[in-house]
Structure 1
Protein backbone atom coordinates (compact mmCIF):
# COMPACT_ATOMS: atom_id res chain seq x y z
CA UNK A 1 0.00 0.00 0.00
CA UNK A 2 1.19 3.49 -0.79
CA UNK A 3 0.45 6.11 1.85
CA UNK A 4 0.28 9.88 1.95
CA UNK A 5 2.46 11.33 4.70
CA UNK A 6 1.16 14.49 6.38
CA UNK A 7 3.86 16.33 8.32
CA UNK A 8 2.33 17.77 11.49
CA UNK A 9 3.57 20.21 14.16
CA UNK A 10 1.22 20.97 17.06
CA UNK A 11 1.87 23.13 20.12
CA UNK A 12 1.29 21.03 23.23
CA UNK A 13 -0.59 22.35 26.25
CA UNK A 14 2.76 23.00 27.96
CA UNK A 15 3.91 25.15 25.02
CA UNK A 16 6.37 22.61 23.58
CA UNK A 17 6.08 21.45 19.98
CA UNK A 18 4.94 17.96 18.99
CA UNK A 19 6.09 16.67 15.61
CA UNK A 20 4.32 13.64 14.19
CA UNK A 21 3.28 12.27 10.82
CA UNK A 22 -0.26 11.26 9.94
CA UNK A 23 -0.24 8.43 7.40
CA UNK A 24 -3.32 7.67 5.30
CA UNK A 25 -4.05 5.71 2.13
CA UNK A 26 -2.70 7.69 -0.83
CA UNK A 27 -6.26 8.07 -2.17
CA UNK A 28 -7.48 9.85 0.97
CA UNK A 29 -7.72 13.51 -0.07
CA UNK A 30 -10.29 14.91 2.37
CA UNK A 31 -8.12 17.20 4.52
CA UNK A 32 -10.82 17.60 7.18
CA UNK A 33 -10.85 13.81 7.62
CA UNK A 34 -7.03 13.80 7.92
CA UNK A 35 -7.18 16.60 10.50
CA UNK A 36 -9.79 14.57 12.44
CA UNK A 37 -7.40 11.61 12.48
CA UNK A 38 -4.77 13.93 13.95
CA UNK A 39 -7.23 15.18 16.56
CA UNK A 40 -8.05 11.58 17.48
CA UNK A 41 -4.34 11.00 18.08
CA UNK A 42 -4.04 14.22 20.10
CA UNK A 43 -6.91 13.09 22.32
CA UNK A 44 -5.16 9.74 22.88
CA UNK A 45 -2.10 11.57 24.25
CA UNK A 46 -4.07 14.03 26.43
CA UNK A 47 -3.59 16.95 24.03
CA UNK A 48 -7.20 17.31 22.88
CA UNK A 49 -8.35 20.80 22.03
CA UNK A 50 -5.05 21.85 20.48
CA UNK A 51 -5.43 23.42 17.01
CA UNK A 52 -4.84 21.13 14.06
CA UNK A 53 -5.47 22.80 10.71
CA UNK A 54 -3.61 23.40 7.45
CA UNK A 55 -1.32 25.67 9.49
CA UNK A 56 -0.10 22.71 11.55
CA UNK A 57 -0.51 19.81 9.09
CA UNK A 58 0.69 19.65 5.49
CA UNK A 59 1.02 16.98 2.84
CA UNK A 60 4.65 15.90 2.56
CA UNK A 61 5.03 12.92 0.21
CA UNK A 62 3.83 9.47 -0.88
CA UNK A 63 5.68 6.41 0.43
CA UNK A 64 5.38 2.62 0.61
CA UNK A 65 3.91 1.52 3.94
CA UNK A 66 5.41 -1.31 5.99
CA UNK A 67 2.99 -4.11 6.89
CA UNK A 68 2.25 -2.87 10.42
CA UNK A 69 1.39 0.63 9.18
CA UNK A 70 -0.75 -0.81 6.38
CA UNK A 71 -2.65 -2.93 8.92
CA UNK A 72 -3.27 0.11 11.16
CA UNK A 73 -4.58 2.11 8.20
CA UNK A 74 -6.85 -0.73 7.09
CA UNK A 75 -8.21 -1.03 10.64
CA UNK A 76 -8.39 2.65 11.72
CA UNK A 77 -8.11 4.71 8.54
CA UNK A 78 -4.78 6.19 9.64
CA UNK A 79 -1.47 5.58 11.38
CA UNK A 80 0.73 7.94 13.38
CA UNK A 81 4.51 8.11 13.45
CA UNK A 82 5.68 10.05 16.50
CA UNK A 83 8.77 12.09 15.65
CA UNK A 84 9.59 14.60 18.42
CA UNK A 85 8.02 16.00 21.58
CA UNK A 86 5.14 13.53 21.66
CA UNK A 87 5.76 12.41 25.25
Structure 2
Protein backbone atom coordinates (compact mmCIF):
# COMPACT_ATOMS: atom_id res chain seq x y z
CA UNK A 1 0.00 0.00 0.00
CA UNK A 2 1.27 3.47 -0.89
CA UNK A 3 0.74 6.14 1.75
CA UNK A 4 1.10 9.90 1.95
CA UNK A 5 3.15 11.39 4.77
CA UNK A 6 2.05 14.77 6.14
CA UNK A 7 4.78 16.47 8.18
CA UNK A 8 3.13 18.19 11.16
CA UNK A 9 4.28 20.70 13.76
CA UNK A 10 1.92 21.89 16.49
CA UNK A 11 2.61 24.51 19.13
CA UNK A 12 1.57 23.17 22.54
CA UNK A 13 0.15 25.48 25.20
CA UNK A 14 3.25 24.85 27.32
CA UNK A 15 5.39 26.42 24.59
CA UNK A 16 6.93 23.21 23.25
CA UNK A 17 6.52 22.32 19.60
CA UNK A 18 5.27 18.83 18.78
CA UNK A 19 6.51 17.19 15.59
CA UNK A 20 4.71 14.16 14.19
CA UNK A 21 3.77 12.65 10.85
CA UNK A 22 0.20 11.89 9.86
CA UNK A 23 0.17 8.96 7.44
CA UNK A 24 -2.86 8.28 5.24
CA UNK A 25 -3.62 6.31 2.07
CA UNK A 26 -2.08 8.14 -0.90
CA UNK A 27 -5.53 8.85 -2.39
CA UNK A 28 -6.58 10.93 0.66
CA UNK A 29 -5.87 14.49 -0.44
CA UNK A 30 -8.49 16.54 1.43
CA UNK A 31 -6.50 18.61 3.92
CA UNK A 32 -9.57 18.94 6.18
CA UNK A 33 -9.56 15.16 6.60
CA UNK A 34 -5.84 15.22 7.43
CA UNK A 35 -6.33 18.05 9.93
CA UNK A 36 -9.19 16.12 11.54
CA UNK A 37 -6.85 13.16 12.06
CA UNK A 38 -4.31 15.52 13.61
CA UNK A 39 -6.94 16.84 16.02
CA UNK A 40 -7.99 13.26 16.90
CA UNK A 41 -4.38 12.45 17.74
CA UNK A 42 -3.97 15.59 19.85
CA UNK A 43 -7.18 14.80 21.72
CA UNK A 44 -5.94 11.24 22.35
CA UNK A 45 -2.67 12.65 23.73
CA UNK A 46 -4.63 15.23 25.79
CA UNK A 47 -2.66 18.06 24.20
CA UNK A 48 -4.24 21.47 23.95
CA UNK A 49 -3.39 23.26 20.73
CA UNK A 50 -5.00 26.07 18.84
CA UNK A 51 -4.89 24.58 15.38
CA UNK A 52 -3.68 22.14 12.78
CA UNK A 53 -3.63 23.85 9.37
CA UNK A 54 -1.54 23.95 6.21
CA UNK A 55 0.90 26.20 8.06
CA UNK A 56 1.49 23.43 10.63
CA UNK A 57 0.81 20.38 8.46
CA UNK A 58 1.90 19.85 4.87
CA UNK A 59 2.30 16.99 2.43
CA UNK A 60 5.83 15.62 2.50
CA UNK A 61 6.12 12.47 0.36
CA UNK A 62 4.69 9.08 -0.70
CA UNK A 63 6.14 5.82 0.65
CA UNK A 64 5.33 2.13 1.00
CA UNK A 65 3.46 1.30 4.19
CA UNK A 66 4.62 -1.19 6.78
CA UNK A 67 2.17 -3.75 8.17
CA UNK A 68 1.76 -1.66 11.35
CA UNK A 69 0.79 1.40 9.28
CA UNK A 70 -1.63 -0.66 7.17
CA UNK A 71 -3.28 -2.07 10.30
CA UNK A 72 -3.80 1.41 11.78
CA UNK A 73 -5.16 2.77 8.49
CA UNK A 74 -7.57 -0.16 8.21
CA UNK A 75 -8.84 0.38 11.76
CA UNK A 76 -8.94 4.19 12.08
CA UNK A 77 -8.03 5.70 8.71
CA UNK A 78 -4.57 7.01 9.61
CA UNK A 79 -1.30 6.32 11.42
CA UNK A 80 0.86 8.69 13.50
CA UNK A 81 4.65 8.62 13.71
CA UNK A 82 5.77 10.55 16.79
CA UNK A 83 8.95 12.57 16.27
CA UNK A 84 9.49 15.26 18.95
CA UNK A 85 7.73 16.40 22.14
CA UNK A 86 4.81 14.01 21.72
CA UNK A 87 4.68 13.41 25.50
TM-score surpassing 0.5?
Answer: yes
C-alpha RMSD of matched pairs (Å): 0.8
Runs of 4+ in 1 over 3 A off after TM superposition: none
How many pairs were matched up? 87
Structure 2: which 5+ residue stretches go unaligned? Answer: none
CA drift of 1:49 comes to: 4.3
Is the CA contact 1:39–1:48 (under 8 Å) kept in the aligned structure 2? Answer: no
CA drift of 1:47 comes to: 1.3
SS in 1 for 2:29: coil
TM-score for both structures, normalised by structure 2:
0.96
Matched residue, 2:58? 58
Q: Give me the whole-angstrom Cα distance separating, in 1, the residues matched to 2:82 and 2:52.
A: 15
TM-score for both structures, normalised by structure 1:
0.96
Matched residue, 1:22? 22
Structure 1: which 5+ residue stretches go unaligned? Answer: none
Give matches, 1:36-75, under 5 Å.
Answer: 36-75=36-75
Matched residue, 1:9? 9
Matched residue, 2:86? 86
SS in 1 for 2:6: strand
CA drift of 1:82 comes to: 0.2
